[in-house]
Amino acid sequence: MLIASATEEMDIHQSCKGRPLPSGSDDTAKISRDLPVADGHAFRRRLGDEVHPSRSGGLDEALQLRQTGAGNVVQDDDGVRLTNFIRSPDGVRIAVDEAGAPQGTPVVFIHGIAQSRHVWRGVLTGPLAADLRLVAIDLRGHGDSDHPEGDAAYAGGDRLGGDLHAVCAALGLSRPIVVAWSYGGVVVGEYLRSHGAKGLGAILFAAAAVKVGKPAKALFGPAMLTNGRALMSEDPATYEAGARAFLGACAAGPIDASFLERSVSEMMRVPAHVRRALLGRSEDYSAELSRCALPAATLHGALDPVILPEMSEQIAALIPGTESTLLPNDGHVAFVEAPDAFLSAIRALVARRAAALDATPIST
């Protein structure tokens, strides 16, 4: 059950009959939380009830909560609050979930390539929610965030880093801990390049890539090298086969079937132009990391077939005081394979962030 009023003010970017409103229109309507749409399904704005724009027949954009500040809040049975979309400086809407204690230490989770905020569902509904403010975002081009056209929307200037900065500003997140998984390392690197480290409190690099393209040639494992071409394919069948092979190889052991199928589903939502733009980048954020004095930690599976542990070793060498954990029996998804170690790494950073802020007041 949704915990909200019977009706909620929402933007309607397309009517149920498929007629678009004028661009920039302020027209709104109060509609019930269960809205019958043209194909007979009910629209429920929660993670468990998916109604994707591309599958709804009459809607080319999902109905969304009307933005007021950081957005109205809807809460589902698990305590995860879906906030409104937050606009990045270039107008791209970024979808955000929240959970936990609103006044707790903020922790922002960034997913990997062709995934979405759904991968953090177990974390957002787990023990960290007792006292921390947990935030998970969809990268642009992924999940429920906008999917703008053109390479420049993904690889030009401060795009991914700007999205992270916009989310933190809109939600009032003061010196958050950022948990960057896989391609999330690129987001952190871009943020540091454009905004510096002063807005962040600590960083957990969870099997994170801080180099991509040619600079990372020797740091990617067989799962990425073997399936990379398929992951950029425009052919749906080729892409799905590659996605299944890639995800099947991510973990060192068996992975929960429902998590795997949901992950495949999320990968299939990411258009080819987005995958090509992001996977085609060539970046090295070593210089930015070397200037970073934040509390940092790495968490990496020794059997990771996607990003080799040497990537985390390089991060630790660049950021003084980095605490490194190598998981001997795990692969690329430590938050699934070794959840206790993952949560412990975050807890340790919470303490280190607090100590650092005591030494250097947050106002500075």
- Rounded Cα distance between 296 and 308, Å, is 19
- Is 175 in a helix, a strand, or coil? coil
Q: For the chain, what is the radius of gyration of the CA atoms?
A: 20
- pLDDT at residue 281, rounded to an integer: 94
Asked if residue 294 lies in contact with residue 142, where contact means CB atoms within 8 angstroms, the answer is no
- Rounded Cα distance between 205 and 209, Å, is 8
CA-based nearest residue to 180, from 317, 11, 312: 312
- pLDDT at residue 41, rounded to an integer: 26
- pLDDT at residue 137, rounded to an integer: 97
Sheet holding 64-65, edge to edge: 28-32, 7-11, 64-65
The two three-digit tokens of residue 234, written as one number: 């425009």
- pLDDT at residue 178, rounded to an integer: 98
- Is 356 in a helix, a strand, or coil? helix
**Strand ranges (E), 258-303:** 283-284, 296-301
Helices vs. strands in the chain: H and E counts, helices first:
12, 18
- pLDDT at residue 22, rounded to an integer: 32
Asked if residue 175 lies in contact with residue 353, where contact means CB atoms within 8 angstroms, the answer is yes
Could you read off the pLDDT tens digit of each residue along the chain, which spans 364 residues? Answer: 222 222 232 232 222 333 233 333 333 222 222 222 222 222 223 333 332 333 222 223 333 332 333 444 556 657 787 767 999 999 999 999 999 999 999 999 999 999 999 999 999 999 999 999 999 999 999 999 999 999 999 987 799 999 999 999 999 999 999 999 999 999 999 999 999 999 999 999 999 999 999 999 999 999 999 999 999 999 999 999 999 999 999 999 998 899 999 999 999 999 999 999 999 999 999 999 999 999 999 999 999 999 999 999 999 999 999 999 999 999 999 999 999 999 999 999 999 999 999 887 554 3
Please state the domain extents for the chain: 67-359
CA-based nearest residue to 59, from 37, 27, 31: 37
The two three-digit tokens of residue 244, written as one number: 């299944």
- pLDDT at residue 79, rounded to an integer: 73
Return the DSSP state at 64: E
- pLDDT at residue 73, rounded to an integer: 53
> Which amino acid belongs to residue 89?
P
Q: Are strands 35-36 and 42-43 parallel, antiparallel or unpaired?
A: antiparallel
Asked if residue 334 lies in contact with residue 206, where contact means CB atoms within 8 angstroms, the answer is yes
Whole-structure pTM value: 0.80
End-to-end CA distance of the chain: 43
**Strand ranges (E), the chain:** 7-11, 28-32, 35-36, 42-43, 64-65, 74-75, 81-82, 86-87, 93-94, 96-100, 105-110, 132-137, 177-181, 202-206, 211-212, 283-284, 296-301, 323-327
> Which amino acid belongs to residue 196?
G
- pLDDT at residue 57, rounded to an integer: 28
46-78 residues labelled b (16+ CB within 10 A) or e (exposed):
bbeeebebeebeebeebbbbebeebbbebbbee
Q: How far lies 124's CA from each of 19, 44, 247, 258, 351, in Å?
A: 37, 20, 22, 17, 19
Give the burial class of 248: count Cβ atoms within 10 A of its Cβ; 0-12 exposed, 13-18 middle, 19 or more buried. middle
> Residue 100 half-sphere exposure, CB side, CA atoms within 13 Å?
24
- pLDDT at residue 74, rounded to an integer: 58
- The domain made up of 67-359 has a fold known as Rossmann fold (3.40.50)
